[in-house]
Amino acid sequence: SEDGYEMHFATNHLGHFLLTHLLLDKLKASAPSRIVNVAAHGHFYAKIDFDDLHGRKVYRSFNAYIQSKLANVLFTYELAKRLEGTGVTVNSLHPGAVDTDIPRHLTARKNIILRTLLAPFVWLLLKTSEQGAQTSIYCAVEPSLENVTGQYFADCRQKDCAKHGCDEGVAKKLWEISEEMTGITNSSNH
């Protein structure tokens, strides 16, 4: 990123962290309100590498992506604790494998032959954008979730996140590092 941070981490985590922080007073004032963070199932296979958070020693795009999605889950977990009693809930979710234009730069997407060969599998295995949005919508408006916070969802159902997705020590350390990287101070009282 322009600030020298790994792009997945900057976009998927730090951007959400900063935007959420900037909106917290409004969210509290309009409680009950909800924060919904889109994570991914890939967080099960990730770890937060505090020694190489931005992949400067070893960089693998997929590892950077799933690390950013684990950061979403950890952020949700920590934020839910910090918002207890405010009327603001926060949950994370996996939208499913969705056929979007996000991987448009991958070789398979650029190659017409590969794209043609893969088309039936994409159609069979991936959700449409509308289908992929359902769990986000569910978490945002489902009446029965009004007081549910700090949870992880997939296919419009509450699921267990990875054990390391609710590690208090890692979540707190990530929060503190995220504060430093975004220039946020005194957010512990939020």
CA atoms within 13 A on the CB side of 105: 2
144: phi then psi, degrees, rounded to nearest 5: -70, -10
Question: Where in the sequence numbering do the catalytic residues fall?
Answer: 65
The packing angle between helices 61-82 and 168-182, to 10°, is 100
Q: How far apart are CA 96 and CA 3, in angstroms?
A: 31
On whether the CB atoms of residues 71 and 20 are closer than 8 A, the answer is no
